[in-house]
């Protein structure tokens, strides 16, 4: 077992360690079954995953009709072979061999041979795992004792993959599977998967017309349609207003700068591979920014500061650019350009604690507004440094101890649900990560709050303290709402597209029953719009029921139907997207209802 | 006289042609005077300008102490020599010479020799102008008859300049001067200059703390401070809300795309030199966008369109990037990245007229809100194509005639002050330019409204018309408020920094007289902020009069002073930035006053 894996597993509970071993064995069962069914394939490699396993196969030597190698249509056959192997209840046994022996065993498999070279280079022992006597593979374990322990598993999907995630030309075939401790857990997982598929923001984004991509524009660069841009604008104004209310000062700085700026900050060596290429403009070398901090530092340094001016809380709706591998781009979730609700707080060290409390207050407030419950939908992670790793982390044990202590005590005193994660800090200090659970049940870091004692030194940022001396502030890096793209992706899935009223791009769809009701519908629309209600009138010459169905599918919160009866009585027949009939209402009554709902959402 | 100059002068009134000749002769008087004073200099070249003239000198061979060649301190001496020449009342006479003769005359002056080569290459005659018998220069005129006609002139400034505006290493010395038909006009011009200097947005931007530049970030890339960003945000929300009210749909598209996109649009050959260098990202070549149109076209093309959906009016607060020579960068006015209030309207051809009227309505509305009067502060320019220039303009005479006709008739029917400018159109169609007069009295194109019949073809944009056939829309390109950077620069100068209440970054500065009044000031500030008033409390331990002076210099519209009397009576003593004492007011009364003023500004 590699050292990294050993450390990772060591942090899991006994139960999770067993589950990991079970999934790892299921992965072996998969590749053994595949080997049996397709003897000409070459095995590459595969791991256990948080839901099961996957394995990459080189299928180039397979003879198949129409170039189609293996597809989901083959799953029943493969699963049957897996079942046969599991039922044999074969023992999983480990042995060590020399590099020479290993090379002989895996002769003709370039993937395994490369792997053997790597193990040898690292000076580790070469371990094999056998499954009874029907298969053996390069593997350092751990595994469950026998294949028969695998009770609940299922193949999920097939995808393309590159060897080591690199960009070589030939594509491997990756088969994903799920494996759980019980059939019940597997069924629960498959249900969540089903639900996640329905709520997939890429699917809903298309169906609800929120964003598109364009081949002529480029990969990972979404275009927000009017509806998508409306959600984005609502979120942006909400957070800007709230931050200003809380004493932040919004600024606007350029989304590119000289590479020298990121050399000064020390970001360049860490971020170089995920930055866009530099651009030579006259004598300057410019580069698109991968983060905002040094820009805010330049603003801070543009005039002398006194302790009376601090804390300075610079916030920005900040476009940023990061290179992501094309295989990792995912709708709005993983993009090559994003816009972060970013901020940097410059504070005397003794004020840092209060500022971090303020930031967590804001995050809890924002998340509540977005409908998320602390504990259920998100929790905090305290990401710590490693005093021994002086390459990865700035060396100053005292400052690390102090900063980690501040973050830990704030989280503890607030009774915020959190856990600690060693070796996950930024290079300039520890951080609190906002861990959000997505629809598929996975936890992801949405954004972070960072305590930074390094940048003020690198940028020679100072203020005059109350004794007239020059002093260095500390910097709190934080987001309050994350990147708009990612947050929108999350919200689309969280609400399954049925946004709360304040976020819905169209709040009311008015449906005149016949053409003669169009004028009345327009008048109602004007009145609603005048009061800030985002309203659309559906003038298509379709039957009313079809229009109702369309807007319900579009998850418009309220439909207002206008026919003879409504025109005569000056009312609108209101229905909700859930199909509830609220009957006829005056426009004033409808407006009152909408405003009440908006006020409840704000509270 | 070159053909271009001939055409340009031909369009001027008789009076303006005379003034141009006068200024041109004044330029000759300047370089003759300089030649007399500094015989070792080399003359490069110089033109008449809309206020006088300038001339570039190569002073490398001059022997002067401390490397200082010629400065404004030398102006009295130079002006005295100019006066001497003018008083000689020398005749200006033209003669033609062969290239060989010309080369002999200007032997040893590389600038003149290069110029002679150019004239020869163009196949034009080589013309000299003599001033009496004391000087002769390469020049095609026209001039006034005698130097004595120059009555009102003044040298203005010295600056560096490059030969032909290029980026060669050696810098020439440029001397600027003013020349007018009468002493009165010259005095008027000098007064305006003085006022323009006081209102220079770079100077005011620094004094009022609105924006800064940073060497580590790069040239032409301003950073907006909290105050500058506040103005920008107010303008942005104002225009977005107004546009949505008028049926625009705001979208968000990426500020970069594959160069292929700009090749498809045909922009690439025209804009290549003013674009940033491309960036290779995986197999894609990306480039920062110099305009938004093709991005909006991609969005338009992302779903099929029917005549019922048109007009589609896509608007965007759109960041754009253009390379400007470093010598031309000017504060917020000329930058390397700007954000345009941009839009593109896709409409059936027969709807174009109504859309253009709608755009001009919006522009007049916005300009009025910004305090500008049509006729006084801005007018329109109808920029036409040239049917003969098929290299510069897309060839289709019928479409050009039709489009120019639509624009002309709209301007005429609105009684909008406008003039026509031949050969100033975009390559894809004619346009209306919004010509704004700046503080120095110069007219500049702030932004444009363009009629485009080419892009729909290039991008194969279509809609299904009411007969079920595929039809091509026309595109109206327009801005409503221009680029925020440029508009802010203009507004700073227009208002001399004393922004109207709705635009003022700080609307009220509260000044507690002593420390014991700080709590009361804070309470008033909270109440004002709760009502959306941008308020600051000045807690510095300075004398009250100093604080009043500071905030008056900062042009904060209202100062609220709070001392014992005010605390006792629950009032605020209000003063305006013009020094008017409005006496004590209750907070409610003050709020009412502010709201009344804001409502008047909105009306």
Number of H helices, E strands in chain A: 19, 27
Q: What is the mean pLDDT of residues B273-292?
A: 94
Contact B250 A228 (CB under 8 A): no
Q: Which among B223, B240, B314 has the least Cβ separation from residue A253?
A: B223
Smallest CA–CA distance, residue B591 to chain A, in Å, is 19
H-only helix segments in A420-554: 455-458, 484-494, 518-530, 544-553
Residue B307 domain-assigned (yes or no): yes
Residue with the bigger pLDDT between A480 and B140: it is A480
Task: Give yes or no for a contact between A581 and A559, defined as CB atoms under 8 angstroms apart.
Answer: no
Domain end marker among B197, B221, B239: B197
Total domains, chain B = 3
Residue B180 domain-assigned (yes or no): yes
B347-404 per-position pLDDT tens digit:
999 999 999 999 999 999 999 999 999 999 999 999 999 999 988 888 899 999 999 9
B164 and B224, same structural domain?
no
Which pLDDT band, with edges at 50, 70 and 90, does A160 fall under?
confident
Residue B232 domain-assigned (yes or no): yes
Per-residue model confidence (pLDDT) at position B585 = 96
Contact A254 B279 (CB under 8 A): no
Task: Give yes or no for a contact between B499 and B505, defined as CB atoms under 8 angstroms apart.
Answer: yes
A133 and A46, same structural domain?
yes
Q: Which among A216, A225, A319 has the least Cβ separation from residue B264?
A: A216
Q: Which of A3-7, A136-140, A304-308, A544-548 has the lowest mean pLDDT?
A: A3-7
Query: How many angstroms separate the CA atoms of A342 and A323, rounded?
Result: 19
All residues of chain A having their beta carbon less than 8 Å from the beta carbon of residue B254 are 217-218, 221-223, 337
Which pLDDT band, with edges at 50, 70 and 90, does B68 fall under?
low
Per-residue model confidence (pLDDT) at position B172 = 86
All residues of chain B having their beta carbon less than 8 Å from the beta carbon of residue A529 are 245
Q: What is the mean pLDDT of residues B478-501?
A: 96
A428 and A512, same structural domain?
no
Per-residue model confidence (pLDDT) at position A269 = 80
B405 and B295, same structural domain?
yes
Residue B498 domain-assigned (yes or no): no
**Most confident by average pLDDT, A394-403, B43-52, B517-526:** B517-526
Residue with the bigger pLDDT between B534 and B59: it is B534
Residue B89 domain-assigned (yes or no): yes
B359 and B243, same structural domain?
yes
All residues of chain B having their beta carbon less than 8 Å from the beta carbon of residue A250 are 226, 229-230, 233
Return the residue of B nearest to A313 by Cα.
B226
Q: Is the peptide bond before B311 cis (omega within 30 degrees of 0)?
A: yes
B127-164 per-position pLDDT tens digit:
999 999 999 999 988 999 999 999 999 999 998 887 76
Q: Are strands B508-512 and B535-537 parallel, antiparallel or unpaired?
A: parallel
Classify residue B269 as exposed, middle or buried by CB count within 10 Å of its CB (0-12, 13-18, 19+).
Answer: exposed
For residue B313, the cross-strand partners are B345
A380 and A337, same structural domain?
yes
Per-residue model confidence (pLDDT) at position B296 = 98
Domain end marker among B493, B528, B555: B493
Task: Determine what percent of chain B is predicted with pLDDT higher than 90.
Answer: 80
Residue B6 has pLDDT above 60, yes or no: yes
Residue B2 has pLDDT above 70, yes or no: no
Task: Give yes or no for a contact between A163 and A111, defined as CB atoms under 8 angstroms apart.
Answer: yes
Classify residue A479 as exposed, middle or buried by CB count within 10 Å of its CB (0-12, 13-18, 19+).
Answer: buried
Residue A3 has pLDDT above 70, yes or no: no
Domain end marker among A493, A525, A542: A493
A338 and A372, same structural domain?
yes
Query: How many angstroms separate the CA atoms of A35 and B508, rounded?
Result: 78
Residue B502 domain-assigned (yes or no): no
Return the residue of A nearest to B322 by Cα.
A281
Cβ–Cβ contacts within 10 Å for residue A39, how many?
Answer: 9
The C-alpha angle with vertex A165 and arms to A163 and A167, in degrees rounded to 5, equals: 80
Residue A203 domain-assigned (yes or no): no
B297 and B181, same structural domain?
no
Number of H helices, E strands in chain B: 19, 27
A517 and A449, same structural domain?
no
Give me Rg for the CA atoms of chain A.
Answer: 29
Range of the domain at B556: 508-602
Smallest CA–CA distance, residue A36 to chain B, in Å, is 38
A333-369 per-position pLDDT tens digit:
999 999 999 999 999 999 999 999 999 999 999 999 9
Residue A343 domain-assigned (yes or no): yes
Task: Give yes or no for a contact between A503 and A531, defined as CB atoms under 8 angstroms apart.
Answer: no
Q: What is the mean pLDDT of residues A88-94?
A: 95
Per-residue model confidence (pLDDT) at position B169 = 53
Which pLDDT band, with edges at 50, 70 and 90, does A65 fall under?
low
Query: Which of A286, A295, A337, A534 to probe the B interface (max B CBs under 10 A)?
Result: A286
* Residue B404: its H or E element: helix B397-413
A183 and A290, same structural domain?
no
A380 and A313, same structural domain?
yes
The CATH number of the domain where A564 resides is what? 3.40.50.800
Return the residue of A nearest to B278 by Cα.
A279
Mean pLDDT of chain B: 93
- What is the interface size between A and B, counted as CB pairs within 8 Å? 164
Task: Determine what percent of chain A is predicted with pLDDT higher than 70.
Answer: 97
Smallest CA–CA distance, residue A540 to chain B, in Å, is 8
All residues of chain A having their beta carbon less than 8 Å from the beta carbon of residue B216 are 257-258, 260-261, 264, 294, 298
Per-residue model confidence (pLDDT) at position B13 = 83
A17 and A114, same structural domain?
yes
Return the residue of B nearest to A306 by Cα.
B540
């Amino acid at each position: 077992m590699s050292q990294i894996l050993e450390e990772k597993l060591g942090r899991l509970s006994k139960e999770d360690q067993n589950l990991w071993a079970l999934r790892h064995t299921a992965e072996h069962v998969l590749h053994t079954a595949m080997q049996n069914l397709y003897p000409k394939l070459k095995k590459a490699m595969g791991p256990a995953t948080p839901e099961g396993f996957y394995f990459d196969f080189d299928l180039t030597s397979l003879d198949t009709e129409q170039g189609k190698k293996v597809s989901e249509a083959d799953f029943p056959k493969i699963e049957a072979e897996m079942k046969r192997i599991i039922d044999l209840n074969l023992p999983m046994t480990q042995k060590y061999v020399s590099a020479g022996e290993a090379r002989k065993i895996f002769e003709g498999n370039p993937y395994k041979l490369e792997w053997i070279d790597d193990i040898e280079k690292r000076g580790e022992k070469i371990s094999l795992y056998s499954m009874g006597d029907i298969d053996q593979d390069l593997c350092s374990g751990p595994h469950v004792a026998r294949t028969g322990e695998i009770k609940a598993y299922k193949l999920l999907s097939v995808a393309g993959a590159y060897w080591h995630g690199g960009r070589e030309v030939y594509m491997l075939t990756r088969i994903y599977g799920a494996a759980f401790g019980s059939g019940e857990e597997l069924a629960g997982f498959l249900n969540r998967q089903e639900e996640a598929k329905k709520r997939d923001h890429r699917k809903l984004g298309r169906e609800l017309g929120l964003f598109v991509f364009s081949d002529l524009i480029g990969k990972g660069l979404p275009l927000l349609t009017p509806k998508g841009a409306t959600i984005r604008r609502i979120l942006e104004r909400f957070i800007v207003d709230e931050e200003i209310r809380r004493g932040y000062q919004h600024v606007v700085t350029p989304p590119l700068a000289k590479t020298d700026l990121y050399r000064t900050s020390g970001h360049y060596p860490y971020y170089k591979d995920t930055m866009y290429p530099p651009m030579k403009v006259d004598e300057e070398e410019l580069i698109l920014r991968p983060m905002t901090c040094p820009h805010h530092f330049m603003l801070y340094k543009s005039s002398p500061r006194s302790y009376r001016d601090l804390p300075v809380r610079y916030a920005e709706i900040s476009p940023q650019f990061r290179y992501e591998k094309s295989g990792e781009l995912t709708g709005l979730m993983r993009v090559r350009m994003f816009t972060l609700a970013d901020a940097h707080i410059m504070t005397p060290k003794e004020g840092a604690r209060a500022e971090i409390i303020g930031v967590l207050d804001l995050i809890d407030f924002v998340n509540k507004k977005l409908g998320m419950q602390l504990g259920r939908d998100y929790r905090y992670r305290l990401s710590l440094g490693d005093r021994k790793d002086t390459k990865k982390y700035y060396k100053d044990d005292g400052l690390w101890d102090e900063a980690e202590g501040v973050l830990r005590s704030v989280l503890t005193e607030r009774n915020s649900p959190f856990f600690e994660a060693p070796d996950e800090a930024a290079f300039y200090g520890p951080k609190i990560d906002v861990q959000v659970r997505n629809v598929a049940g996975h936890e992801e870091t949405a954004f972070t709050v960072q305590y930074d004692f390094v940048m003020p030194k690198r940028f020679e940022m100072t203020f005059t303290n109350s004794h007239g001396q020059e002093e260095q502030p500390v910097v709190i890096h934080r987001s309050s709402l994350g990147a708009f793209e990612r947050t929108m992706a999350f919200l689309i899935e969280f609400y399954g597209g049925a946004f709360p009223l304040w976020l819905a791009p169209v709040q009311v769809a008015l449906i005149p029953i016949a053409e003669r009701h169009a004028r009345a519908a327009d008048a109602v629309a004007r009145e609603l719009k005048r009061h800030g209600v985002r309203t659309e009138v559906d003038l298509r010459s379709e039957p009313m029921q079809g229009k109702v169905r369309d807007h319900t599918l579009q998850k418009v919160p309220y439909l207002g139907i206008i026919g003879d009866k409504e025109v005569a009585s000056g009312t609108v027949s209101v229905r909700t997207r859930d199909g509830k009939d609220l009957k006829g209402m005056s426009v004033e009554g409808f407006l009152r209802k909408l405003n009440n709902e908006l006020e409840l959402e704000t509270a």
